[in-house]
Amino acid sequence: MDYLKIHSSKSLSGEIAISGAKNASLPLIAMTILAKNAVKIKNLPNVVDIKTLLKLLSKLGANCQFSDNSVLVDTSSINETKATYDIVKTMRASILVLGPILARFGHCEVSLPGGCAIGQRPIDLHLKALEQMGAKINIKSGYIEATTPNGLLGCDIIFDKVTVTGTANIVMAAALAKGVTTITNAAREPEVVQLCNVLAQSGVKINGIETAILEIHGTNGKLLNIQEFDVIPDRIEAGTYLCAGAITKSELTLTYVEPKHLGAVISKLEEMGNTFKITKDTITIYPAKKIKPVKIITQEYPAFPTDMQAQFLALATQADGVSIIEEKLFENRFMHVSELQRMGADITLNGHTATVNGKTRLSGTDVMATDLRASSALVLAGLVATKETNIHRIYHLDRGYDSLENKFKNVGAKIQRLKE
């Protein structure tokens, strides 16, 4: 098993190219199930979650050829509609095949999902919406068994809470349904927006893209002709490297980035004293001489993203004053706190709120990654800690960051990937 060894790296400089967005790539790969042609997707990140989903599609019978951050997916050969536990248990996003398989084939079995242990992310909203569209659903022996006796029918769906994967799943199901499906309280994340845009470019009429009310005009079972496209840049990866510049007080430039997707992150970094130069596809951070404390509440896009909470918590340990970080989306997303405390961080937890007393002198030690974003928070802490930091269980990190240690090395970080 691999681990990362990090030494204090207080002066980074240079450029970091941002990879394609993992969270956009996953629904887009699942979307190929709706296609009548082989689909080429470019600018995919080379991360474990992508390979896991492609493995799942391959087990269903699809032909997937992945190389050079591109994949060619031909789903015309799918001959199986059961997504088995051995793959789904490793990645919650596997649930994204439910909507498109059901829409195309009229039946499917999908194992109840696994993935990061950051809290409950129930799929009841997905299932309720599919039932409204006419699906018959049973939970049996750990599997979701779904059929559509009369095909999927467009209807009005109101999500009780914003759900990103739920929105993506139902948008894909609605694309091949009969009639019009309206989704109220739909997620507005850039990853959902790209899915809608690609479907719209493939012949599915969708009104309300980028809003909380989507109207999808289904094709009544007609498969789509999906042309090749590039995945959008990863806003969470970009935000992580901006935090690296902030915590090490280094000037860094990000390339191949979409600045408009990072509004809430940049705003909070500005509150902490950092300044920026922003172009169409680059962001340069000029660090604060003195890092100011911050108050953060995680919420759905376009507000501050939960996937950046851990990184800002690490950054807050180096701020001069008290920072308050409230997690409103997941109930168990402070597991990295105990590891940061092992490094000397002064953090108090009260329910869903973390109070960070800065500035603290962090000391490197052995720490354990508990989920994907917690892993990157420990990397950030290791960059400014005295002594060496060893981060174990970095398979979490590999699920979502493409070539992280190499990108850090290229800007001067002292980081190594080693074997246990």
Active site residues: 116
Bond prior to 287 in cis (omega within 30° of 0): no
Backbone angles phi, psi at 349, to 5 degrees: -105, 135
- DSSP 8-class letter at 303: S
Half-sphere exposure of 194 (CA within 13 A, CB side): 23
Cis ω before 27 (30° cut-off from 0)? no
Task: Give the chain's count of helices (H) and strands (E).
Answer: 14, 24
Token pair 């699920």 is found at: 399
Distances (CA, A) of 140 to 103, 112, 114, 146: 21, 10, 16, 11
19 contact partners, CB below 8 Å, separation of at least 6: 43, 45, 46, 69, 233, 234, 237, 256, 402, 403
- Give the whole-angstrom CA distance, residue 26 versus residue 56: 12
Tell me the DSSP string of 154-209.
--EEE-SS--HHHHHHHHHHHHTSBSEEEEES----HHHHHHHHHHHHTT-EEE-T
Helix (H, G, I), strand (E, B) or coil at 248: coil
CA 411 to chain CA centroid, nearest Å:
24
Amino acid sitting at position 254: L
Half-sphere exposure of 207 (CA within 13 A, CB side): 6
Give me the amino acid identity at 15. Answer: E
